[in-house]
């Protein structure tokens, strides 16, 4: 009942209804869990092959995120995803250098995951 009253009075407040932020956090956790499972399966496939044929390397990854919290959260999510590690952040805070276990497979998967992560992070951190 209280949420309904607060929801009906939300137009008098300057910021977004807090329940939407809580839902955005749960969505971010679901997105991360999905990417974690997907990348874990990819790493397991690569490691359990009789002959390990991986091409490790570093690639540049541009981001649209702006704040320190957003970039830190993105870096942590990428690093916690198996097969990839954020090594460095460019001085302009727009380019991440990522080490991937297998560049041909992992770089495209990481770039796709980053776009999904960025959208979910923006939903959590921005009030517009």
Residue boundaries of the structural domains of the chain: 2-125
pLDDT at 96: 94
Q: How far apart are CA 83 and CA 103, in angstroms?
A: 10
Q: Which residues of the chain have pLDDT under 50?
A: none
pLDDT score, position 80? 86
Q: What is the pLDDT of residue 26?
A: 93
Alpha-carbon span 11 to 97, nearest angstrom: 42
Give pLDDT, residue 107.
76
pLDDT at site 127: 64
Where on the phi/psi map is residue 22: left (φ > 0), alpha (ψ -120 to 50), or beta?
alpha
Looking up tokens 């198996």, which residue turns up?
Answer: 82
The burial of 83, by beta-carbon neighbours within 10 Å (0-12 exposed, 13-18 middle, 19 or more buried), is given as buried
| Residue 20: per-residue pLDDT | 76
At residue 97, the pLDDT reads: 95
This prediction's pTM: 0.77
- Which residue's entry shows tokens 């092959």? 49
pLDDT in tens, 83-98: 889 999 999 989 999 9
pLDDT of residue 6: 60
DSSP state of 111: H
Residue located via tokens 């390990």:
52
Give yes or no for a contact between 74 and 121, defined as CB atoms under 8 angstroms apart: yes
């Amino acid at each position: 009942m209280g949420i309904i009253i607060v929801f009906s009075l939300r137009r008098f407040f300057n910021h977004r209804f807090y329940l939407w932020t809580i839902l955005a956090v749960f969505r971010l956790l679901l997105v991360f869990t999905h990417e974690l499972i997907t990348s874990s399966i990819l790493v397991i496939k690569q490691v359990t092959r009789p002959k390990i044929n991986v091409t490790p390397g570093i690639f540049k990854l541009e981001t649209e995120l702006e704040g320190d919290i957003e970039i830190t959260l993105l870096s942590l999510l990428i690093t916690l995803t198996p097969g990839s590690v954020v090594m460095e952040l460019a001085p302009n805070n727009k380019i991440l250098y990522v080490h991937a276990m297998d560049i041909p497979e992992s770089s495209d998967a990481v770039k796709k995951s980053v776009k999904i992560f960025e959208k979910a992070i923006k939903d959590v951190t921005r009030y517009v």
